[in-house]
Amino acid sequence: DVKVTQSSRYLVKRTGEKVFLECVQDMDHENMFWYRQDPGLGLRLIYFSYDVKMKEKGDIPEGYSVSREKKERFSLILESASTNQTSMYLCASSLRNEQFFGPGTRLTVL
Amino acid sequence: GDSVTQMEGPVTLSEEAFLTINCTYTATGYPSLFWYVQYPGEGLQLLLKATKADDKGSNKGFEATYRKETTSFHLEKGSVQVSDSAVYFCALRRSGGSNYKLTFGKGTLLTVNP
């Protein structure tokens, strides 16, 4: 079974803090994705990566950056957290047609 | 650009009722279509998929048929259970390309009462 794990289920940070969300997959997938999920807006793609050290902006990259130093790990970075980044963050990986999702990190920025 | 429109929820049904969640899409070419389900407190799981016109995806009693003429992929189940309560997302992947990026609808919350 494919497993996608995220470092935290719940996270509380203060405005201005630097925040790291980690995602690890164990199936040697090339593609990895970060989404945020908000009520009434569905899932919106922040960034994705199709290979180590390769990344592409998604639909809402502003305020975020990513890092992919190893194939299995894809990190989302909030350089200076703001209250409007309070959300559920979902990581996914895929080889071909199907994306496999982690359980999500619910981030609250106070 | 690509887009997915699905019926707004929430949808509330009694156990054993018939379920339809409508999904239509806009995309060039021949996209692949998916339904994902998110149970409370969990990430998304693939429920079913169809990769070409007239394909029917099915899983756990759910079905959806890829209708190119109406650009639709409606989700149906003949008899829902309380355990089907979840958020359902319709999604598409554009044909061609190599990044496997998905475009999602906004999700439909289904609540099934005993």
Q: Residue B14 pLDDT more than 70?
A: yes
Q: What is the pLDDT of residues B15-55, one digit of tens each?
A: 999 999 999 999 988 899 999 999 988 889 999 999 999 99
Confidence tier at B98 by pLDDT (50, 70, 90): low
Are the beta carbons of A104 and B43 separated by less than 8 Å?
A: yes
pLDDT of residue A97: 73
The residues that bridge with B111 in the sheet, in sequence order, are B12
User: What are A87-107's pLDDT values in tens digits?
Assistant: 999 999 987 778 899 999 999
Between residues A82 and B2, which one has the greater pLDDT? A82
Q: Which of A90, A94, A104 sits opposite B100 (nearest CB)?
A: A94
Nearest-neighbour CA in chain B from A38: distance (Å): 9
∠ Cα A86 A39 B97 (to 5°): 90
CB-CB under 8 Å, B46 with A99:
yes
State whether residue B32 sits within 8 Å of chain A by CB: yes
Chain B residues touching residue A103 (CB < 8 angstroms): 41-43
Residues B95, A47: Cα–Cα separation, whole Å: 20
pLDDT score, position B94: 84
Model confidence over A15-73: pLDDT tens digits?
A: 999 999 999 999 899 999 999 999 888 899 999 998 898 999 998 999 999 999 999 99
CA distance B68 to chain A (A): 19
Position B97 scores a pLDDT of 61
Whether residue B95 contacts residue B30, with contact meaning beta carbons closer than 8 Å, is answered with yes
Looking at every residue in chain B, the average pLDDT score rounds to 93
Cα dist. A3→A36, A86, B33, B45 in Å? Answer: 19, 25, 23, 12
Nearest CB to A97 within list B93, B105, B106:
B93
Q: Do A101 and B106 touch (CB under 8 A)?
A: no
Residues in chain B, overall count = 114
Task: Give A86→chain B minimum CA distance, Å.
Answer: 16
Q: What is the pLDDT of residue A64?
A: 97
Give the per-residue pLDDT at A81.
Answer: 97
Beta bridge partners of A20: A77
